[in-house]
């Protein structure tokens, strides 16, 4: 048995912590601060509520549009350079949003921030995959997911403090500051030392492989294991909206809904490290399957609630299930990504994930439009067991890290 990397090898400050985790938290803090104020800012520009909702949707639209180009960019210029460009682009987007003269300009700024967010997320994912030993990969990537969630969780509170002491547009200025700080941390961290041919800063082996070649070479993986990625994205996308929508259905006030949402988010954030530790020790399926079953079951229970207390209990189970699966998609993506074309592969991987995130809320909206929000919730909840089944069926075929059995199989080879 080979010796596991020491703590110093696993967490050199300039590579793992300052190169990926800290920038992730700081960048997500600004995005989280912006999220609740997009619609109010659009209304201030004279937009209707429907138009304000459309402008808010430009953030995920920007992410989806940039997922694949982000992989090509990171392959060409390197992960660190891509993070720096993304931080600069986000800072420009935040500044434009702060002084947007019209709703159309605000929409363009939000779209730019969404695209920059996609590039930043992909590049830091690829970066940490390259510098982290496989035996500790899940813990690092789960911590990355936790840092992002913590930033988005705390961001709205930072925004609320800024709004309380000044104008709404100052939140965008604060978000611009966080983007600049994230870029500075990446720049000061320096380049990581790695033997990986497609590691941070590398633009040689990876750039010779086109996106089309990556897709064609792994089209069966995308058609099979990629299905699990889309299903998990659908369930998680629905999760973001299901608590506020069901709270409105029950007639709860905005303060109560926000409190319930916050409690669920707190549990979500707390679970990232235990989830990563289990995945590293026992395999990815030990977290992926139960997490999606729990999240799906908890979501399916929500239509049975009829009071704030009942809804709070179920919402906390939803947060627990989602937190238990923290980092699962990033970890599995890192496991199956080819070393010579990692950024391109992860761009396609993220496209599947973000597409699912966009479809999830549409399931809820479709149910509500047909007269039954509960039907939409149950449809979204069904993605949980389907995702679990897809992971159990296909992950062992493509990943040696799926379980103890697949690790023994790899050791035998």
Domains in the chain, CATH or no CATH each:
7-207 (1.20.1250.20), 209-413 (1.20.1250.20)
Spatial distance between the Cα atoms of 283 and 399, rounded to a whole number of angstroms: 10
| pLDDT at residue 358 in the model | 86
Give, for all 413 residues of the chain, the pLDDT tens digit.
444 444 444 455 567 788 888 999 999 999 988 888 888 888 888 888 778 878 888 888 899 999 999 999 998 999 989 999 999 999 999 999 999 999 999 999 999 999 999 999 999 999 888 888 888 899 999 988 888 888 888 888 888 888 876 678 899 999 999 999 999 999 988 665 544 444 444 433 445 678 889 999 999 999 999 999 999 999 998 888 888 888 888 888 867 887 888 788 888 888 888 999 999 999 999 999 999 999 999 999 999 999 999 999 999 999 999 999 988 999 999 999 998 899 999 999 999 999 998 888 888 888 888 878 899 999 999 999 999 999 999 999 999 998 989 998 888 87
| pLDDT at residue 287 in the model | 95
In three-state secondary structure terms, 347 is helix
| pLDDT at residue 1 in the model | 40
| pLDDT at residue 12 in the model | 55
H runs (alpha helix) in 283-341: 285-301, 308-324, 328-336
Listed residue (67, 175, 163, 178) closest to 114, CA to CA: 67
| pLDDT at residue 133 in the model | 84
Phi, psi of 299 (to 5 degrees): -65, -40
CA triplet 276, 360, 46: central angle to 5 degrees?
115
Spatial distance between the Cα atoms of 356 and 339, rounded to a whole number of angstroms: 25
CA Rg value for the chain: 21
């Amino acid at each position: 048995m080979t010796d596991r990397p020491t703590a110093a090898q696993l967490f050199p400050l300039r590579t793992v912590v300052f190169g990926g985790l800290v920038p992730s938290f700081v960048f997500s803090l600004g995005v989280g601060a912006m999220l609740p104020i997009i619609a109010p800012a659009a209304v201030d520009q004279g937009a209707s509520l429907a138009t304000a909702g459309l402008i808010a949707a430009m953030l995920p639209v920007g992410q989806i549009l940039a997922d694949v180009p982000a992989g090509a960019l990171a392959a060409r210029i390197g992960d660190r350079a891509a993070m720096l460009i993304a931080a600069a682009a986000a800072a420009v987007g935040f500044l434009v949003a702060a002084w947007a003269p019209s709703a159309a300009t605000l929409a363009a700024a939000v779209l730019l921030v969404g695209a920059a967010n996609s590039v930043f997320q992909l590049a830091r994912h690829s970066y940490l995959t390259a510098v982290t030993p496989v035996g500790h990969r899940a813990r690092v990537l789960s911590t990355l997911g936790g840092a992002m969630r913590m930033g988005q969780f705390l961001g709205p509170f930072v925004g609320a403090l800024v709004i309380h002491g000044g104008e709404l547009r100052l939140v965008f200025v604060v978000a611009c500051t966080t983007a600049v700080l994230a870029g500075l941390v990446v720049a000061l961290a320096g380049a990581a030392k790695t033997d990986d041919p497609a590691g941070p800063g590398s633009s040689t082996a990876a750039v010779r492989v086109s996106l089309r070649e990556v897709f064609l070479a792994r089209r069966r993986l995308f058609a099979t294991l990629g299905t699990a990625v889309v299903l998990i994205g659908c369930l998680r996308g629905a999760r973001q909206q299901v608590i506020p929508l069901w709270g409105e259905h029950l007639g709860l006030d905005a303060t109560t809904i926000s409190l319930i949402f916050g409690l669920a988010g707190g549990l979500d954030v707390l679970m990232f490290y235990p989830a990563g530790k289990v995945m590293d020790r026992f395999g990815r399926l030990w977290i992926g399957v139960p997490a999606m079953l729990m999240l799906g079951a908890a979501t399916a229970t929500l239509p049975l609630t009829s009071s704030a207390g009942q809804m709070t209990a179920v919402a906390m189970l939803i947060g627990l299930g989602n937190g238990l699966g923290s980092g699962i998609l990033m970890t599995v993506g890192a496991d199956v990504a080819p070393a010579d074309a990692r950024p391109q592969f992860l761009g396609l991987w993220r496209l599947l994930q973000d597409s699912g995130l966009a479809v999830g809320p549409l399931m809820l909206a479709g149910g509500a439009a047909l007269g039954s929000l509960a039907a939409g919730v149950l449809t979204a909840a069904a993605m949980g067991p389907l995702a679990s089944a897809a992971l159990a069926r296909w992950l062992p075929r493509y990943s040696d890290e799926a379980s103890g059995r697949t690790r023994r199989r790899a050791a035998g080879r």
